[in-house]
């Protein structure tokens, strides 16, 4: 297990937002960050989304091959196109990196978020791997099980976060080039034989993030 990022050891609150359409969560993240002060709590938001494709700032819309009836939303996070939907554990990371004295440690922040996914998968006897130049978590066969994308404002505050596929309808992934990679297979825990509830995985992932980022 990687050590946590060497930041100030202040608490991170966990909030459960339930099932929510992405634009509501996206607007709330931005509004919370807009209104933050030096005393505002750092938070992890647990959410499950209705089906949506989201585009990062540098995303090529041509990587959305056939959205059909699924909304496509432009965002301000890093990265390319991804899919969110029911059965996916999404945790948004709202931190003040400047206050935590780790503003220059963005690479370590990303590694710790990835490590939280790896640790969560390990509890279910699954091995998650990093891939150089492709943020997220993969399996030995190259398929992707978790996506990651962040926004870091000029004031050092973050939002967006990580999405771990638990028990999803995976077909919408075949209608895009996930993260900009043609023919990238996406997988979930259920298809790997893991019978885990979304709530349990959400709780485990948030706890790992809370531990590694505090």
Cα 112 to chain centroid, rounded:
12
The band of 14, judged by pLDDT with boundaries at 50, 70 and 90, is very high
| Per-residue confidence (pLDDT) for residue 103, from 0 to 100 | 66
Q: Are 55 and 80 in contact (CB under 8 A)?
A: yes
Above 50 in pLDDT, residue 77? yes
User: Among all residues, which ones are annotated catalytic?
Assistant: 179
What is the token pair recorded at 211? 């531990």
Q: Which tens digit of pLDDT belongs to each residue from 138-161?
A: 999 999 999 999 999 998 999 999
Instruction: Decide the pairing of beta strands 88-94 and 134-138.
Output: unpaired
Domains along the chain with CATH numbers? 12-213 (3.30.930.10)
Q: What is the mean pLDDT of residues 1-25?
A: 76
**Sequence-distant (≥ 6) Cβ neighbours of residue 154 within 8 angstroms:** none
**Sequence-distant (≥ 6) Cβ neighbours of residue 189 within 8 angstroms:** 121, 124, 126, 145, 164, 165, 166, 167, 196, 201
């Amino acid at each position: 297990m990687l050590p946590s990022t060497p930041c100030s050891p202040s608490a991170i609150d966990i909030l459960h937002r339930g099932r929510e359409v992405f634009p509501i969560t996206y607007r709330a993240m931005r509004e919370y960050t807009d209104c933050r002060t030096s005393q505002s709590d750092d938070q992890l938001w647990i959410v499950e989304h209705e089906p949506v494709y989201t585009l990062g700032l540098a995303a090529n819309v041509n990587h959305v091959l056939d959205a059909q009836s699924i909304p496509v939303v432009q965002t301000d996070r890093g990265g390319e196109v991804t899919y969110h939907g029911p059965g996916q554990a999404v945790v948004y990371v709202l931190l003040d990196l400047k206050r935590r004295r780790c503003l220059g440690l963005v690479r370590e922040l990303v590694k710790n978020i990835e490590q939280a996914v790896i640790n969560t998968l390990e509890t279910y006897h699954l091995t998650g791997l990093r891939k150089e130049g492709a943020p997220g978590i993969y399996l030995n066969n190259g398929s992707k099980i978790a996506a990651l994308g962040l926004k870091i404002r000029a004031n050092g505050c973050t939002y967006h976060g990580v999405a771990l596929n638990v028990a999803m309808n995976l077909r919408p992934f075949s209608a895009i080039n996930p993260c900009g990679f043609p023919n990238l297979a996406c997988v979930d825990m259920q298809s790997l034989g893991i019978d885990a509830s979304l709530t349990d995985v959400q709780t485990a992932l948030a706890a790992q993030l809370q531990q590694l980022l505090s």
